[in-house]
A and B are shown apart, each in its own frame.
Chain A
Amino acid sequence: MALAAVRNSILGGALALATSAGAVAPAYGAASDMVVVRAGTVITVSGKEIPRGDIVIIDGKIDLIGTNLEFPKSATVIDARDQVVMPGMINAQTRFGMDGFRRSGNNSGETAAKEIELSLFDFEPLISEGFVTAAFVPTGNNMPGRASVYRLAGPDGPELLNESAYVPISMTNPGGDKGQLEAAIRQAEAEIAKAKKAKEDFDKKQAEEAKKKAEAEKNGEGKEAENGEKKNGNGEEKPAEFQPPEIPGDAQFFVDVLREEATIPAVFELSSASDYIHLLDALGDNAEKFGTTYSFTSTSGDFKEVIGRLGEKNAHVIVRPGISFLPSTTIRYSIPASLVAAGCTVTTVPPFDAPAGYEAMRLRMADLIRTGWSREDALKSVTMNPATLLGLSDESGSLEKGKRADLVFLNGDPLDPTSSVKAVMVGGEMVWEDDQ
């Protein structure tokens, strides 16, 4: 009874006075793989924060979150009453640890995963700052290749979750990037035209053959049975199926986008407001097909000029946290707060792609909260929003029933600069603990 009440209240988003005496759910028969985290505060991100919350984990997945729960003695209890627990953070765009080989041009058929040899990677700088999942982007200019999503640690070590999560397209140097993007679109249009022509030719040929057959039938009316046999034989031998011409790997994404069949988004990197104008210019009539996901590679205050327009389209924007100034002034300006106010979804990635950047991230976010960004939006921007962007929202991004138990344990509030990550749990198992 009480358990049900707690469950309902969590689902309802409002934690009532959860004074349940506690109960053991009868369904937890095989409780040997049950883990219970008793936290000081549970930041669910999707719902309210739960003081003195308990998280019940079964088979690496969250089964229940509540207060004053009781559980079988066989359950492994992690006592973290002095700590804050939040979902594992997601780094939506990193090149950390990837080699410096830079390619240019359209390489959108490549993926970061092809370059990553896991045995050579040390993810500790990311994990120790609470990042459990990261999308790796190949190095290079223009369209270097697709982002690949990894879970950075786990019971069986790092794991590739999604080899192609999105296609980064640079527009930070319009002088070169515009031409490459336009060329990629032209190539895709040519491929589409080629496929269309091949289909037409095929149909024509089919029609001609059918005509011939019909004529042949007419001529040979006397031998109906024979013809009938032949026809059946032919039909089985040649299932007339159209084979579209093969599309080169690097053109595939653009072909899909132009046909409005793309399953993954393009992420356009912009370093200033002007780059957005150049991007629209380069995309021309196809702009809407390419979606509205952007990555601001700088904290330039002149983004103010286009944030209203991005908001109208409910864009998803990856930002580097940091205080901006309106151009040529000392007037402070918060890009994330303005984006949210305009109607955008914000994902935050570390201010720069190095361990110091990962360390600075929560501090920089705290700065932005002081200047107008809401705490809820800030927390979502490193958990739920990147999960949506990377297609992981079913299993990561918040603490809810059914999601994977990727937890970060901190000795204080995540947005308090003095707090630090003490431990990281992935799939119900501790994968990293602070030695000190």
Chain B
Amino acid sequence: MIERHTRRLNLFAACSLLAVCSVAGTAHSIEPGDPEPEVQQQQDPEIAPEVVQDPPPRPRRRPPEGRPGRGGGDEAASPEAEAGEADEEKKDDEAKGEEPEWLAITGAIVHTVTGPEMDGATVLCKDGKIFAIGHRVTVPEGAKVIDAAGHHVYPGLIGMDSSNIIGRGNPADTTDVYGLAGSLARAAGLTTLVSGNAVAKIKNGTLDGMIVASNMFEDLRYDTNQPRRRAEVRKGFEDARDFLRSVEEFRQDDDKEEGEQPPQERDLSREARSALRLLRGQAKAQAFANDAASLVALADLAEQYGFEIVIRGVTEGWTVPERIAQAKLSAIVVPRDRTLADERTNRPNGATIENAAILTRHGIPVAVLPPGPYFGPGTGIGLSGLGGRDMLNINMSAAFAARGGLTEEQAVRTLTINPARMLGVDHRLGSLEVGKDADLIITDRPLLDYMMLVRYSIIDGEIAYDKDAEGIFAHVRPTDPDAEHPKDAWPRRLGAPW
């Protein structure tokens, strides 16, 4: 499937320049004058579900002043500035004397998640970033090419919680980068996992670029059955708010005494320090709540002090979606959750398969998780218990959400862009957009199909999982049916010599 591409296009290799990266929400394109066919990708499918296609590449030439780029002419930056930038870029590349690493995935059905679905498009990655997506992307000479005709391409999936796959504590210190658990996770389509308070890529054999974010959550314990604890939390927020006010007062105070010190953070309680990070927007709160009363209490708290909460569980979220939406909270739900309704409770309660759909309909960002190692809702993805039970079918959790009323596109979002936004890493992960990390999976069927198998998973533009090369699923619907099965390989099969 992979071959060295030998088409000649010297100019392309010589004039490598970066596409203008931009975070979600702004349109961007490749600079005018770039030999790369300017394939523009719209960011928001709801607004513009079309991709502008461009004519085949032409020799690089400096665009005349004021001439808009061929990609559509709606670029924010002036072509002049961009051309200058491009030249600098070129010089940089020449100075380094390093050939960029190209990876092209051709002919696949590309699900960009934040953009349209493109059948038969090419995804071109350069040095670990997505360089272009489109139908007439020219593959540079020397690029590694994956012919993915008939396959689907999705952004790599993000697991919102995990255990024993990447390491505990600081994953960059504790992960077994050659471990089986990582291979299994990649085989399931996951490329990024949350472990503890860190977001890390499931890299194969390297630690470079593993950590995406860390310390992004503050734990918020605000259970309805612990009134004293709740009082402490509220006190913490009050103290933090007073602290911010006194800091501001000190700053504005014109007749300060000589040597007078501003209020010190170290004098605050632990709760207050935690609340301070939330109020300053340095972190999001992470809470665990399933019953309606707790969810409403969290919504009240978030509204009162103005900070963001990502709630795990949210079993009864469907009974109070308005309150959750009003407070702008995010939800990590477990579509396979089967908490029975309590008949003695005189209100709607218990789990429903429609939960994710109802929350999404109210505009609440939803991510999904499997039931978890201990079958408690939202306890994560792990290898414990029945090995791989939860992790190896993470896509089915999204499929269950779709069965409960989400559209397939929305269901794919619950494993990609939604978790990326909750983690604050959506500028790098969660969708296929030019400039984002080249973390993607190539599957033989649509993601939500129960027969779906990942063919390749690519992390930072490098193949991190190849179904044929690793023994886990090589024998299931093999690429080459006549090929001899790898004997002795895990997992054990009928007919194996042992």
> Which of A's residues lie within 8 Å of B, judged by CB?
174-175, 178-179, 272-274, 277-278, 281, 302, 305, 327-331
Contacts and interface: CB of A to CB of B under 8 A. Distances in A.
A281 B205 contact: no
Interface string B216-258: 0000000000000000000000000000000000000000000
Interface residues of B, number: 21
Given A277-B206, A277-B207, A281-B207, A329 B490 contact: yes
B150 interface: no
Interface in B85-144: none
Interface string B174-202: 11111110000000000000000000000
Contact of A273 (B169, B173, B178, B471): B178
Contacts of A281: 172, 207
Contacts of B178: 272-274, 277, 302, 305, 327
B488 A329 contact: yes
B204 to A, nearest CB: 10
Interface centre among B176, B178, B498 (most CB of A within 10 A): B178
Given A178-B173, A179-B173, A277-B177, A328 B489 contact: yes
Nearest to B205: A305
B363 interface: no
Contacts of B173: 174-175, 178-179, 278
Contacts of B172: 281
Given A175-B167, A328-B489, A272 B176 contact: yes
7 interchain residue pairs of minimum CB distance:
A328-B490, A175-B174, A330-B488, A274-B176, A329-B488, A302-B178, A274-B177
Contacts of B498: 330
A274 B177 CA distance: 5
Contacts of A330: 488, 498
A319 B167 CA distance: 26
Contacts of B490: 328-329
B475 to A, nearest CB: 13
Contact of A278 (B179, B207, B488, B489): B207
A331 to B, nearest CB: 5
Contacts of A328: 180, 471, 489-490
Tell which of A273, A277, A305 has the most Cβ of chain B within 10 Å: A277
Interface in B461-492: 471, 488-490
Interface string B431-445: 000000000000000
A281 B174 CA distance: 12
Given A174-B174, A179-B173, A281-B172, A327 B205 contact: no
Contacts of A329: 471, 488-490
A301 to B, nearest CB: 10
A305 B176 CA distance: 12
Given A277-B178, A329-B488, A330-B498, 17 more contacts: A174-B173, A174-B174, A175-B167, A175-B168, A175-B169, A178-B173, A272-B176, A272-B178, A274-B178, A277-B205, A277-B206, A278-B207, A281-B207, A327-B180, A328-B489, A329-B490, A330-B488
Contacts of B170: 175
A2 B169 CA distance: 72
B155 to A, nearest CB: 26
Contacts of A174: 173-174
B211 to A, nearest CB: 11
Nearest to A177: B173
Nearest to A332: B488
18 contacts: A174-B174, A175-B167, A175-B169, A175-B174, A178-B173, A273-B178, A274-B175, A274-B176, A274-B179, A277-B177, A277-B205, A327-B180, A328-B180, A328-B471, A328-B489, A329-B471, A329-B490, A330-B488
Interface string B448-471: 000000000000000000000001
A329 B180 CA distance: 11
A371 to B, nearest CB: 15
A368 to B, nearest CB: 19
Nearest to B177: A274
Nearest to A272: B176
Nearest to B170: A175
Contacts of A302: 178
Contacts of A305: 178, 205
Contacts of A179: 173
Nearest to A331: B488
Interface string B316-359: 00000000000000000000000000000000000000000000
Contacts of B169: 175
Contacts of A272: 176, 178
A195 B489 CA distance: 57
A305 B203 CA distance: 14
A142 B179 CA distance: 23
Contacts of B180: 327-328
Contacts of A274: 175-179
Interface string B144-182: 000000000000000000000001111011111111100
Nearest to B176: A274
Interface in B17-68: none
A274 B166 CA distance: 12
A169 B206 CA distance: 21
A402 B177 CA distance: 48
A329 B173 CA distance: 27
Contacts of A273: 177-178, 205
A220 B490 CA distance: 93
Nearest to B210: A281
B213 to A, nearest CB: 19
Interface in B385-444: none
A207 B185 CA distance: 65
Nearest to B489: A329
A383 to B, nearest CB: 32
Interface in B240-297: none
A278 B206 CA distance: 9
A178 B174 CA distance: 9
Contacts of A277: 177-178, 205-207
A297 to B, nearest CB: 15
Interface hub of B174, B177, B207, B488 (most chain A Cβ within 10 A): B177
B442 to A, nearest CB: 23
A287 B86 CA distance: 36
A59 B180 CA distance: 58
A331 B490 CA distance: 11
A273 B178 CA distance: 7
Nearest to A327: B180
Contacts of B471: 328-329
A329 B487 CA distance: 8
A343 B471 CA distance: 29
Nearest to A303: B178
Contacts of B205: 273, 277, 305
A376 to B, nearest CB: 30
A178 B169 CA distance: 13
Nearest to B167: A175
A179 B173 CA distance: 8
B467 to A, nearest CB: 15
Nearest to B204: A305
A329 B485 CA distance: 13
A140 B488 CA distance: 38
